[in-house]
Amino acid sequence: MAKLSGIEVYKNLPRTNCGDCGLPTCMAFAMQVASKKRALDGCPHVSDEARAALGDAQVPPMATLSLGSGDRVLTIGGETVMHRHEERFQHPPILAVGLSAALGDAEFAERLDAIEALTFERVGRTIGVDAIAIRHDGVDVDRYGAVVTRIAAATDRVLLLLCDDPHVLAPAVAAVADRKPLLVAATEANADAMASVACQYGLPLVLKASGIDRTAALSERIAAAGVRGLLLDPSPSHVADAVGVMIQLRRLALEQRVRSLGFPTYVDVGGLVDATLDLDLDADARATAEMMAGLSFVMRYAGVMVLDTIEPWAVHPIVTARQDVYTDPQVPNEVEAKLYEIGHPGPEAPVLVTTNFALTYFTVAGEVANSKVPCFICVVDTEGMGVLNAYADDRLTVDRVVAVVREQGAMDRVNHSRLIIPGLVARMRMGIEEVSGWQVIVGPDSAAGIPHFLHTVQSQYQAEADTEAAG
């Protein structure tokens, strides 16, 4: 069934405008139900017939499920839209890195340490790899169980058990079931035994079939066996096909409401790259291919992704894109508008001004920190807009900048009256100078130029001070 309109919901309401739902009219309530802000149950007078008529549309088109335990519970699925601008994407994909159970001890420990180190700070948040995918790679049952237990003891990250032999998998699952790992994968050949393991411990299970029709059929079979948490791997044979398949799956789940496809998806990016590309690729080229494919699946529409690269430069763009795509486009990402100190600024320290859009502030603050020049940064409340947008929208004006710098007391903390403004709003310079009497210096257009800029102006100030002292 296609998405319900407000009118369709309205037709099934009592249309008495009694207000018992907290809204003044039935139409207002209907619009909220259609936009998923309210549930139909919010109206106490809905008839059974209306409930039945709208019931199917009230069920979320994609299931939500959680992996992990303790502080590492991660939720995926529950998506409702094809495009982020329609509403928002709900739950970011879980990013795992593969670790082969067949590795020798030294290499195994080294790789585990490298995976644990794959975290980054960005716009005030820690982002990085969420999970470890333990690849079976043909080892015996004792070895696989020992490796899974060892990794579980060494990390609190979510565990993915990539083993399609139920006899090898079952003892490993028993050892770490309380960590709520993801089991990968049920196929047409092993579905019953894998479903049995998943049901025994109440764990989510990836199903892997070739193409969408067979994925739907296997999904029905496994759901009938009692498995509740499913992920779909339609096994595209080539990276180039995979994004198209992911889009098709999403359309069928959300727009056609095909119940057997209403689950989050699973993509083995490392395996897909290996199946697609020339195996003689050097390590950097292979990591680049994983990065490019991983970026595609962040956009379209992975629930869980497994990489094999442990190169920070390949993982960082993926987690960065994930952070950006999974913010709410209707809620600006802001920092508090106040005077920030970077390093330990003294009376000689430069004073910069910027806006409270989080990405802008953290980028500027990061580059100031890189420069190793302690600075004050005055942050103007622009309701989460970046510099140019705020300027165009009159939220970053001459009077406002002067008022904020005065209110925050920046000039009281230094022995000069120089203010550095973003290069993108160079035309504000004269106005600020006229209103405030400060000397305004135009900074670089891009934050990347800040370190060089700060060193240059610092040298100039020092030369001026030396000349003054000598004269």
Residue number with CB closer to ligand SF4 (43 or 159):
43
Instruction: Quickly list DSSP for 395-434.
Output: SS-HHHHHHHHHHTTGGGSSSS-EEEE-GGGGGGHHHHHH
Residues 6+ apart with CB under 8 A from 23: 29, 32
Residue number with CB closer to ligand SF4 (19 or 202):
19
The span of 19-27, 130-138, 229-237, 317-325 binding ligand SF4 (CB under 6 A) equals 19-27
The span of 12-20, 195-203, 405-413, 461-469 binding ligand SF4 (CB under 6 A) equals 12-20
Query: Binding to ligand SF4 by residue 10, rule CB under 6 A?
Result: no
Return the residue of 4, 9, 12, 21 that touches ligand SF4, per CB under 6 A.
21
When computed from its CA atoms, the radius of gyration of the chain, rounded to whole angstroms, is 28
Q: How many CA atoms lie within 13 A of 32 on its CB side?
A: 17
Amino acid identity of residue 273, one-letter, is: V
Helix (H) / strand (E) element for 231: namely strand 230-233
Query: Binding to ligand SF4 by residue 466, rule CB under 6 A?
Result: no
Residue number with CB closer to ligand SF4 (43 or 183):
43
Closest distance of CB 210 from ligand SF4, Å: 47
The CA-based angle 271-140-280, given to 5 degrees, is 30
The span of 17-25, 78-86, 422-430, 460-468 binding ligand SF4 (CB under 6 A) equals 17-25
CA distance 468 to 471: 5
SS3 annotation, 278-343: CCCCCHHHHHHHHHHHHHHHHHCCCCEEEECCCCHHHHHHHHHHHHHHCCCCCCCCECCCCEEEEC
Closest distance of CB 16 from ligand SF4, Å: 5
CA distance 219 to 204: 13
Return the residue of 26, 31, 287, 378 that touches ligand SF4, per CB under 6 A.
26
* Residue 305: alpha-carbon gap to chain centroid: 12
Residue number with CB closer to ligand SF4 (21 or 385):
21
Contact track, ligand SF4, 29-68, x by CB under 6 A: x-------------x-x-----------------------
Return the residue of 1, 2, 7, 18 that touches ligand SF4, per CB under 6 A.
18
Q: Site size for ligand SF4, by CB under 6 A? A: 13
Nearest to 403 by CA among 435, 356, 357, 361: 435
The span of 18-26, 89-97, 110-118, 231-239 binding ligand SF4 (CB under 6 A) equals 18-26
Query: Binding to ligand SF4 by residue 16, rule CB under 6 A?
Result: yes
Closest distance of CB 334 from ligand SF4, Å: 35
Query: Binding to ligand SF4 by residue 19, rule CB under 6 A?
Result: yes
For the chain, the distance separating the N- and C-terminal CA atoms, rounded to the nearest angstrom, is 83
Nearest to 211 by CA among 228, 178, 233: 233
Closest distance of CB 5 from ligand SF4, Å: 16
Closest distance of CB 52 from ligand SF4, Å: 17
Return the residue of 6, 14, 343, 451 that touches ligand SF4, per CB under 6 A.
14
Q: With the C-alpha atoms ordered 425, 431, 437, 439, is the resulting torsion angle positive or negative?
A: positive
Residue number with CB closer to ligand SF4 (40 or 319):
40
Closest distance of CB 79 from ligand SF4, Å: 27
Query: Binding to ligand SF4 by residue 23, rule CB under 6 A?
Result: yes
3-state SS class at 242: helix
Closest distance of CB 72 from ligand SF4, Å: 41
Footprint of ligand SF4 on this chain (CB under 6 A)? 13-14, 16-21, 23, 26, 29, 43, 45
